[in-house]
Amino acid sequence: MKYSPHIYAHALAQAIIAAKGADHDGIAKNFLALVRKNGDETSLRKIVAEAERLIHKESGARKVTIISARPVKHSAEAMLKSILKPGDAIEEKIDPRLIAGIKILINDESEFDGSLKGKLDAIFSNVI
């Protein structure tokens, strides 16, 4: 590996922020060509995830991941909208292992676990 994923991510994030919405496709193509030229394409997932985190941090927007056992119903969507801010990037994931309920991750750092699995795990961790 020629450069660490963090260095690549920082460079990509700064290029996208400096472009202010103009020619993101060109930036992505040139960046991908650079990473391939250096033989570091195995780290692309890490690079993109870190660049996304840096861009969100710079812009003040949050990455909100909503994880539920089944698709979120309209009644729950209204409640979720109350915690979201304009500009937040929202990602929804389905994880049947949750059994019921919902987990909310903010910037992959803060977590609210309102899932049945989380509650059962908490109960049984205190028993054992």
Q: Which pair of structure tokens corresponds to residue 31? A: 């960046």
**Domain finish residue from 59, 79, 96:** 59
Question: Can you read off the two tokens belonging to residue 116?
Answer: 């049945």
> Which of the four pLDDT bands, split at 50, 70 and 90, describes residue 128?
low
34 and 48 both lie in a single domain: yes
Specify the higher pLDDT residue, 82 or 8. 8
**What is the mean predicted confidence (pLDDT) over 83-112?**
83
120 and 96 share a domain? yes
- Both 91 and 55 in one domain: the answer is no
Domain containing residue 123 = 63-127
Instruction: Quote the CA–CA distance of 87 and 59 in Å, as a whole number.
Output: 9
Q: What is the number of other CB atoms lying within 10 angstroms of the CB of residue 50?
A: 20
Token couple for 99: 């059994």
Higher pLDDT, 109 or 48: 48
